[in-house]
Amino acid sequence: MDVVSTMDPVIESFRPKPSQGWMWLVATALLMLAVVGFTVNAAPGEEIPSWVWVLYAVIILIAIWSLVLAANFPAMRYDLTNDALVIRYGVVLHYSLPYHSISEVANRDLSPTLWSSTRFPGIALYKVIYSEGTYLMCSTRMSKGVLVIETEGDDYGISPAEEDRFVAALTARMGGKAPGM
Question: CB under 8 Å to 26, separation ≥6 — which residues?
Answer: 66, 67, 70
User: Smallest Cα–Cα separation from 66: which of 16, 18, 31?
Assistant: 31
Structurally, the chain folds into a number of domains equal to: 1
Q: Where are the alpha helices (DSSP H) in the chain?
A: 21-42, 50-72, 163-173
Amino acid at 145: G
Is residue 106 domain-resident?
yes
Is residue 122 domain-resident?
yes
Is residue 9 domain-resident?
no
Per-residue pLDDT at 48: 82
The region of weakest confidence among 10-24, 53-67, 116-130 is: 116-130
Per-residue pLDDT at 164: 95
Is residue 3 domain-resident?
no
Is residue 87 domain-resident?
yes
Is residue 8 domain-resident?
no
CB 25 within 8 A of CB 125: no
SS3 163: helix
Given a cut of 90, whether residue 175 has pLDDT beyond it is: no
Domain of residue 23, residue span = 14-181
Tell me, what DSSP letter sits at residue 121? T
Is residue 7 domain-resident?
no
Question: CB under 8 Å to 110, separation ≥6 — which residues?
Answer: 130, 131, 132, 135, 143, 144, 146, 148, 157
pLDDT in tens, 76-100: 999 999 999 999 999 999 999 999 9
**Sheet-wide strand order for 123-130:** 102-108, 146-151, 155-158, 133-139, 123-130, 112-120
Per-residue pLDDT at 5: 39
Is residue 120 domain-resident?
yes
SS3 89: strand
Question: CB under 8 Å to 91, separation ≥6 — which residues?
Answer: 72, 75
pLDDT in tens, 26-76: 999 999 999 999 888 877 778 888 898 999 999 999 999 999 999 999 999
- How many CB atoms are located within 10 Å of the residue 123 CB? 27
Given a cut of 50, whether residue 1 has pLDDT beyond it is: no
